[in-house]
Structure 1
Amino acid sequence: MIFLSVVFTLLGLSTLLWRDDDLIGLPPAVAGGGLVVLGVAAGVLWVVRRRRRWERNGEPRPVGNVIDRAKALPRLLRERKAYGLPTSTLATWAFAVVYLVSPVDLLPELLPLIGVTDDAGVAVWLLTSVSTVTGQYLRWERERKVKKTG
């Protein structure tokens, strides 16, 4: 869902910025604006569905802002075994970083607009995954401190 959000938003913005001709009979402003609205709506829907899933499954919600989560990442990596971070998650993150840095892509950048979307999708997934896990780690860390002092 987040991938579609990024794709629609990027396509809409690029249509607004660079398109001069009508697109399927619509002026570029209407078509681009519609794609941006669809992209933002898909992103909002993804956030709402994710929060509901956390509540339904009883999963702890991540805590902390972006800066707190970024500062917690090195601690998470050091304490990954105590926290219970699967090695497969680390391997997936590493694969995503290698894919972003690598000059080899599934969709080459030579294809206008479409070539960037695979990198954007991987980058968005990586950032949201790392952010979610570090937010849950911060919650675990706080609960552990309360148990030690309590």
Structure 2
Amino acid sequence: MIFLSVVLTLLGLSTLLWRDDELVGLPPVVAGSALVVLGVAAGVLWVVRRRRRWERNGEPRPVGTVFDRAKALPRLLRERKAYGLPTSTMATWGFAVLYLVSPIDLLPELLPLIGVTDDAGVAVWLLTSVSTVTGQYLRWERERSGKAGKSR
């Protein structure tokens, strides 16, 4: 869902910026604005659905700001075994980074607009995944330090 949101928003913005002629019988301003609105709506829907799933499944919500999570990432990587971070998650992150820096793409950048969407989608997924896991790690770390403080 987040990938769809990013793609629609990027297509809408590019239509607004670079398109001069009509698109499906609509002026570029109308078509681009509609795509941006649909993209933002899809992103909001994704956030709402994700939060509801966390509540329904009883999953712990991530905590911390973006900066707190960025600072916690090295600690998470050092304590990944104690935290229980699966090796598959680390491997998936590694493949995503490799795909982003690799000159080989599924959709080459030569294709206008579409060529960058696969990279954008992978980057958004990677940042979202890392942010979520580090936020849950911060919660785990706080709970662990709270338990250690109570036992003293």
* Per-residue deviation, 1:127: 0.1
Query: Partner residue of 1:56?
Result: 56
Question: Structure 1: which 5+ runs fail to align?
Answer: none
TM-score with structure 2 setting the length: 0.98
Q: Distance in 2 between matches of 1:88 and 1:144?
A: 24
Q: Residues 44-123 of structure 1: matches in 2 within 5 Å?
A: 44-123=44-123
Q: CA RMSD in A?
A: 0.2
Q: Distance in 1 between matches of 2:135 and 2:70?
A: 9
Question: Structure 2: which 5+ runs fail to align?
Answer: none
Query: Partner residue of 2:9?
Result: 9
Which amino acid is 1:65 matched to? T
State the identity as a percent: 89
* Per-residue deviation, 1:108: 0.2
Q: Distance in 2 between matches of 1:22 and 1:149?
A: 65
* Per-residue deviation, 1:78: 0.2
* Per-residue deviation, 1:113: 0.2
Q: Distance in 2 between matches of 1:101 and 1:37?
A: 31
Deviations 1:90-124 (A, max 9, x none): 00000000000000000000000000000000000
Q: Distance in 2 between matches of 1:37 and 1:103?
A: 32
TM-score with structure 1 setting the length: 1.00
Q: Distance in 1 between matches of 2:116 and 2:38?
A: 19
SS where residue 105 of structure 2 aligns?
coil
Which amino acid is 1:126 matched to? L
Which amino acid is 1:66 matched to? V
Q: Residues 31-50 of structure 1: matches in 2 within 5 Å?
A: 31-50=31-50
Aligned length: 150
Query: Partner residue of 1:23?
Result: 23
Q: Distance in 1 between matches of 2:75 and 2:149?
A: 20
